[in-house]
């Protein structure tokens, strides 16, 4: 373990600002509309870890399962267990999202379970956030925003893809029939937020805390 530098990057206490902090979502949530076609919630300050390893090595999949209790997801899919989800990003890359604050312990657990293998675990918690979108008009709003086909025949629940969104890139995850998640990079968050407000305008947008 001394070969890599792993340390607790999140303070025990302290003022935290998620990427969408300045959008004032809590404030907007109190003014919520009930009949909105799109409902938005930031699942903020979660632990985000990028996991790299050899998918074809059974020891890697085994180690991941041992540490997380999750099977390694195959291409374009996402597996979840409670608040923990593991998503395929590329043939040797996965995104692990865990409850905020647990990422340091999870990383240590993963590293212990994968000891001796050529792997990488990188804490990217500060660099991205999860935006949940719910409602009957989310699919239409996504059609305005992304070139990727979000029809259920092509994008069933459990699928997750990295693609273009407006003029930037992000990950779209389909987590429930009317529920979708966007993995948004911090620096693009304000742009995406502005875009989402605009694209949802004709359907009605409500914010949930």
Q: Does 123 bind another protein (CB under 8 A)?
A: yes
Q: Of 83 and 120, which CB lies nearer to another protein in the complex structure?
A: 120
Q: Is residue 166 at the binding interface for another protein, with CB under 8 A as the rule?
A: yes
Helix axes 103-113, 58-68, angle to 10 degrees: 140
Residue showing tokens 């804490």: 123
Could you tell me which stretch among 25-33, 64-72, 130-138, 159-167 binds another protein (CB under 8 A)?
159-167
What minimum distance in Å lies between the beta carbon of 108 and another protein? 15
**Three-state SS at 30:** helix
The contact pattern for another protein, residues 176-195, with x = CB under 8 A and - = no contact, is ---------xxxxxxx--xx
151 binds another protein (CB under 8 A): yes
Question: Is 35 an interacting residue with respect to another protein (CB under 8 A)?
Answer: no
The DSSP 8-state label assigned to residue 17 in this structure reads -
Question: Taking a C-beta distance cutoff of 8 angstroms, is the pair 119, 52 a contact?
Answer: yes
**3 state DSSP class of 11:** coil
Picking from 102, 72, 75, the residue whose alpha carbon sits closest to that of residue 86 is: 72
How far apart CA 197 and CA 193 sit, in angstroms, is: 6
3-class DSSP state of 174: strand
Neighbours of 70 (CB within 10 A): 17
Confirm or reject binding of residue 105 to another protein (CB under 8 A): no
Work out which of 93, 101, 102, 139 binds another protein, going by CB under 8 A. 93
81 or 194: CB nearest another protein: 194
Site for another protein in 59-88 (CB under 8 A): 75-76
Nearer to another protein, 22 or 65 (CB): 22
Asked if residues 63 and 113 have their Cβ atoms less than 8 Å apart, the reply is yes
- The site for another protein (CB under 8 A) is made up of 2-5, 7-11, 14-19, 22, 45, 50, 52, 75-76, 89-93, 118-120, 122-128, 143-144, 146-149, 151, 153-154, 161-164, 166-169, 185-191, 194-195, 198-199, 201-202
């Amino acid at each position: 373990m001394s070969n890599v530098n792993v340390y607790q990057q999140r303070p025990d206490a302290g003022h935290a600002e998620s990427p969408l902090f300045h959008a004032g979502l809590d404030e907007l949530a109190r003014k919520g509309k009930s009949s909105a076609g799109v409902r938005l919630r930031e699942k903020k300050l979660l632990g985000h870890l990028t996991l790299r390893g050899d998918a074809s090595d059974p020891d890697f999949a085994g180690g991941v399962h041992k540490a997380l209790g999750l099977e390694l997801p195959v291409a374009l899919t996402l597996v979840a267990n409670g608040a923990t989800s593991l998503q395929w990003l590329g043939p040797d890359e996965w995104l692990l999202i865990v409850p905020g604050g647990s990422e340091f312990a999870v990383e240590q657990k993963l590293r212990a379970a994968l000891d001796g293998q050529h792997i990488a675990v990188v804490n990217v918690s500060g660099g991205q956030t999860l935006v949940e979108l719910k409602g009957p008009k989310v699919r239409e709003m996504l059609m305005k925003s992304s070139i990727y086909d979000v029809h259920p025949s092509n994008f069933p629940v459990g699928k997750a893809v990295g693609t273009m969104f407006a003029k930037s890139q992000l990950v779209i995850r389909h987590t429930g029939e009317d529920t979708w998640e966007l993995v948004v990079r911090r620096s693009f968050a304000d742009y995406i937020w502005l875009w989402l407000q605009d694209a949802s305008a004709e359907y009605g947008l409500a914010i949930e805390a």
